[in-house]
Structure 1
Amino acid sequence: MAFNRLTSSAVLLYDEWLKEADPRVEDWPLMSSPFPQTLVILIYVYFVTMLGPRLMENRKPFDLKRPMIIYNFSIVVFSIYMIYEFLMSGWANGYSYRCDLVDYSSSPQALRMAWTCWLYYFSKFVEMLDTVFFVLRKKNSQVTFLHVYHHSIMPFTWWFGVKFAPGGLGTFHALLNCCVHVVMYTYYALSAMGPAYQKYLWWKKHMTTIQLVQFVMVTVHIGQFFFMKECPYQFPVFLYVIGLYGLIFLVLFLNFYYHAYTKGKRLPKVISCGMSFRNGVYKKAQ
């Protein structure tokens, strides 16, 4: 009986909560409920941590050089397109970079921003292929907890962003992330093309700085909100989440930068043995 009451209360709370959602996105793919995406994420986690390694245990690793080149360059093109859409729908077309609220109207620009947010959300599922490639190539040491956590939590949290606040100052970090992905996935595509292209990768050492600048900008931009006298952003909880995320990875990256470039000594164990930072998580370098 108590369980039934608890279930009923949870259902009522869920229904009340969804009343605050943006009705414009209700019929978009995966947006009617958080459960389909949760199922996809659970399948992803199960495959990359258990099923995939088990299936590959007695098999030779796949040669995925060509698919990886195509995949990485595809992410670059997709990221460039999202950058353009984020700029045209607000960040270069009316946003102040301070207290930018979500426009819930049906104007072309507001709908364009909402759809761009959905595209960014969808891209997080595409990027799960990073881990799938690791598993199929039997690079299981690269499938770390932080890596899987990052690829799982991003689409999950962004569902709520698209569902409730597709626009405004909460999307600045997405714009920055797309810019960083253009650089990073270009590097990984060229790297996958073999030793003949190593001469074009002289800027590898600067990717750490680019990542660091990204997290500084995210933290500073979101941090403005807490010092504004008045900013009626519709769902401030998302700003807390973004700020916490940016701050955590800023600290992680400062630690990495200090040990790798400032201190100039052997990297600590957590990032030694050829570890690199990709998409916000440490991975063993290829």
Structure 2
Amino acid sequence: MEVLRRLAAGYHDLMDNKSDPRVNDWFLMSSPLPTLAICLTYVFIVKVLGPKLMENRKPFELKNVLIYYNLFQVIFSCWLFYESIVSGWFTSYSFRCQPVDYSRSPLAMRMAKGCWWYYFSKFTEFFDTIFFVMRKKFDHVSKLHVIHHGIMPMSVWFGVKFTPGGHSTFFGMLNTFVHIVMYSYYLLAAMGPKVQKYLWWKKYLTALQMVQFVLVFAHAFQLLFIDCDYPRAFVWWIGMHAVLFYYLFSDFYKQAYIKKTKKKQMKLNIERMNAVKSESKEMKLPLLNGFSNGSGLGDVRQRMAGAVASQ
């Protein structure tokens, strides 16, 4: 019981005294439990309940819904990217070391609120998976997809609770830019075959996401080698997230593009070999038909003897 009391006291001390007091009364910021419950509910819906409900149903046609949803996400991402730049990045923030400004200055509060809205955007992204389930595209609900969407709200919650600003917001700034490109792609893809034929750059979108995580990794872990008034725990928190997501996205890239291309090339090579063998058999058939039983050879000999006698 004493251990539980100490753990409870430590938890309350962390949440009440070591977090940013500016965000304590903001929606969903008082405790991590509501966010954790929402994330677990999301996983249950997209992996268990959703597929079960859709098992005997026809896929939903969501063309217009997808167009408006992706358009909203593009606009939302553009606004978040703009807020992160105006509040700090490319204006007053240092890419080498940027402590958190815990004051209530207009720019500091603007960045803190931008961090909260970025956290909220992780919930709107749940609809990516929900729409896959409703359209019965269950192969799209991959390990990468569910892990990425399922843990991001929880991860960002800690950032907003303790460090809503400063060095780690580089990840949010970069991520919103990638989402502008990503949801623009999805928006175009939702418009149908007339537009989809021009979307040859999907694999480069995945490559862009991988580059994002390399930059986040390098940007975060540089603080391990320099003095900076920024919580070391969050350096590891952001850096290890970048490592995890880079591994997941690179594995997806290999499966979706490199191995798929190799399989396609192997299949093409086999088809070519079969075609060559088929042509080779067709060329040999007349010879086999003419000489296999000796009758063809006898006819030739008779024709040659007739030609000599006539001379």
The whole-number CA distance in structure 1 between the counterparts of 2:254 and 2:135 is 32
> Helix, strand or coil for the counterpart of 1:28?
coil
Aligned 8 A contact 2:63 2:190 in 1: yes
What is the percentage of aligned positions where both structures have the same residue? 52
- Structure with more of its chain in helix, by fraction: 2
Distance 2:206 2:62 in 1: 26
SS in 1 for 2:186: helix
Write the distance in 1 (CA, Å) between the matches of 2:225 and 2:32. 33
Which residue in 2 is equivalent to 1:214? 212
One-letter code aligned to 1:28: W
- In structure 1, stretches of 5+ residues that fail to align are 268-286
Single out whichever of 208-217 and 21-30 deviates more from structure 2.
208-217
Of 215, 229, 234, 1:232 maps to: 229
**1:89 matched to which residue of 2?**
87
- Secondary structure at the aligned position of 1:106 is classed as coil
Q: Structure 1, residues 43-68: CA drift from partner, whole Å, max 9, x if none?
A: 21211111111111111111111111
Q: Give distance in 2, aligned partners of 1:45 and 1:249.
A: 18
TM-superposed deviation, 1:203? 3.2
CA 39–20 in structure 1, closer or farther in 2 if over 3 Å, else same: same
CA distance in 2, matches of 1:218, 1:49: 30
Matched residue, 1:49: 47
- Give the distance between the partners of 1:256 and 1:149, measured in 2 at CA: 13
The AA in structure 1 aligned to 2:11 is Y
**Are 1:31 and 2:68 counterparts?**
no
Q: How far is 1:198 from its partner? A: 2.4
Residue 200 (structure 1) shift: 3.9
Match for 1:14: what amino acid?
A: Y
Q: Could you give the per-residue CA deviations for residues 221-254 of structure 1, whole angstroms, max 9, x where no partner exists?
A: 11211221x1121x22111021112123334555
Alpha-carbon distance change, 57 to 258 in structure 1, aligned in 2, over 3 angstroms: closer
On the 8 A contact 2:203/2:253 being kept in 1, the answer is no
- Which residue is equivalent to 1:193? 191
Provide the residue aligned with 1:280 in structure 2: none
Q: Does 1:246 align with 2:249?
A: no
Question: Partners of 1:251 and 1:49 in 2: how far apart?
Answer: 22
Q: Where do 1:45-124 residues align within 5 Å?
A: 45-124=43-122
- In 1, Cα distance between equivalents of 2:252 and 2:53: 34
1:184 and 1:39 map into 2 onto residues whose CA distance is 27
Q: Larger Cα Rg: Structure 1 or Structure 2? A: 2
Q: Deviations over 1:178-200 (max 9, x none)?
A: 11111111111111110111244
Aligned to 1:150: 148
Q: Tell me if the contact between 2:43 and 2:146 (Cα under 8 Å) persists in the aligned partners.
A: yes
Q: Does residue 20 of structure 2 align to residue 22 of structure 1?
A: yes
- Aligned partner of 1:165 in structure 2 is 163
Match for residue 9 of structure 1 among 2, 6, 11 = 6
Query: Given the alignment, which residue of 131, 134, 137 partners 1:136?
Result: 134
- Give the equivalent residue in structure 2 for 1:265: 262
Supply the distance in 1 between the matched residues of 2:254 and 2:154 (Cα, whole angstroms): 31
C-alpha change, 1:171 and 1:193, in structure 2 (3 Å) is: same
Structure 1 residue matching 2:176: 3-state secondary structure: helix
Q: 1:128 to 1:263 in 2, by over 3 A?
A: closer
Gaps of 5+ in 2: 265-311
Q: Given the superposition, is the C-alpha separation of residues 129 and 253 from structure 1 closer, same or farther in structure 2, using an over 3 Å criterion? A: closer
CA distance in 2, matches of 1:146, 1:255: 9
SS in structure 1 opposite 2:41?
A: helix
1:164 Cα shift? 0.3
Instruction: Output the TM-score relative to the length of structure 1.
Output: 0.85
Shift of 1:131: 1.0
Deviation at 1:258, TM superposition (A): 6.7
Equivalent residues of 2:148, 2:245 under 8 A apart: no
Q: Secondary structure at the match of 1:95?
A: coil
Quickly say closer, same or farther: Cα 1:221–1:121, change in 2 above 3 A: same
RMSD between aligned alpha carbons?
Answer: 2.1
The AA in structure 2 aligned to 1:63 is E
